[in-house]
């Protein structure tokens, strides 16, 4: 996923391995008008919202088990 600055000169690429099948995007839409849409937060996720209730794609770790995943941001 590429995130670009409005000037078109800068941005980042968000990358994640196959363990992260979902992304959650947060905006500032609930902030005061002056601060709205001045930033964005993107969170790689391994399950969808409300997964503990639905059980969709929840990863269960038994005692002593390990889980690894890799994600990051690359500036452009």
Give the global pTM. 0.75
Residue 21 lies in domain:
1-51
Q: Is residue 65 part of a domain?
A: no
Q: Is residue 33 part of a domain?
A: yes
Note the pLDDT tens digit of each residue in 21-70. Answer: 999 998 888 888 888 877 788 999 999 999 999 999 999 999 999 999 99
DSSP per-residue letters across the chain: -EEE-TTSS-EEEEEE-TT--EEEEEE-TTS-TTTTTS-EEEEEESS-TTHHHH-TT-----TT------EEEEE-
Q: What local confidence, expressed as pLDDT, does residue 6 receive?
A: 80
5 vs 1: CA distance, rounded Å? 13
Q: What local confidence, expressed as pLDDT, does residue 17 receive?
A: 97
Q: Is residue 10 part of a domain?
A: yes
Q: Is residue 60 part of a domain?
A: no
Q: What local confidence, expressed as pLDDT, does residue 62 receive?
A: 97
Q: What is the total count of domains within the chain?
A: 1
Q: Is residue 75 part of a domain?
A: no
Q: Is residue 37 part of a domain?
A: yes
Rg (CA), the chain: 16
pLDDT band at 18 (very low <50, low <70, confident <90, very high): very high
């Amino acid at each position: 996923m590429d995130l670009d600055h409005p000037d078109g000169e800068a941005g980042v690429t968000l990358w994640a391995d196959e363990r992260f099948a979902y992304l959650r995007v947060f905006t500032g839409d609930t902030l005061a008008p002056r601060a709205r849409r001045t930033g964005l937060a993107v969170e790689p996720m391994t399950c969808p919202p409300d997964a503990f209730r639905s059980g969709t794609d929840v990863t269960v770790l038994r005692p002593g088990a390990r889980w690894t995943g890799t994600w990051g941001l690359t500036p452009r």
